[in-house]
A and B are shown apart, each in its own frame.
Chain A
């Protein structure tokens, strides 16, 4: 079993839709949770990070962490074609510097 599981997609949605991206994990020691966006042939860029459980909102993006279920989500409201990219979740244990990434979910927002 992988430490971090993420559906590879592709996920296709119409412009303006609400997108839900998810990851599950097995290591209950994970405390820091990140979402990165990666455009084709580019490096990942950090979108959001959260510590422990709860929600965090930044513009059209909302990150949720449910540690009891070992499940994290990224919601994108009013999705745009420019949001078309691969979204990677990442997580780490407190006090360590090794970040474990999911395989990424490919998102296509259709105009």
Chain B
């Protein structure tokens, strides 16, 4: 059973460009989370999705950021018109329904975004 797959692992964008980060959850996991991690900081919650639904996006900036988890295919975190402050590691985590309450999240290896 493959783990959570994130790609790209590294992404470089210039200010004003768009960044798309993809996450394929573990097989059988229908819950996906996105977190952002800045150097020397912890993981900051961004958004929680189930298939085709955004459950909680309270941690995601209202502008320029969006997330989806379609019926088919990976979850996508999209950042439009990137700025230098968006440079960070973005982690995706997935969980099966019976593990969500207990906080058993399975993380991918992250996508590191650098904005020049």
Contact = CB atoms under 8 A, between A and B. Distances in A.
A101 interface: yes
A103 interface: yes
Contacts of A103: 40-42
A88 interface: yes
Nearest to B95: A97
A73 B101 CA distance: 20
A35 to B, nearest CB: 10
Interface residues of B, number: 28
Range of interface residues on A (Cβ < 8 Å): 20 to 34
Contacts of A94: 101
Given A97-B48, A97-B56, A98-B58, A34 B42 contact: no
B91 A32 contact: no
Given A43-B91, A43-B109, A44-B91, A101 B43 contact: yes
Contacts of B85: none
Nearest to A35: B103
B103 to A, nearest CB: 4
Contacts of B104: 34, 46, 49
A60 interface: no
B72 to A, nearest CB: 23
A8 interface: yes
A43 B4 contact: yes
Nearest to B103: A34
Given A88-B42, A97-B31, A43 B102 contact: no
A57 interface: no
Contacts of A41: 109-110
Interface in B35-81: 35, 40-45, 48, 55-56, 58-59
A104 B104 CA distance: 17
A30 B31 CA distance: 21
Interface of B: 4, 31, 33, 35, 40-45, 48, 55-56, 58-59, 91, 93, 100-110
11 contacts: A41-B109, A42-B110, A43-B4, A43-B107, A46-B106, A49-B104, A97-B56, A98-B48, A98-B58, A99-B45, A101-B43
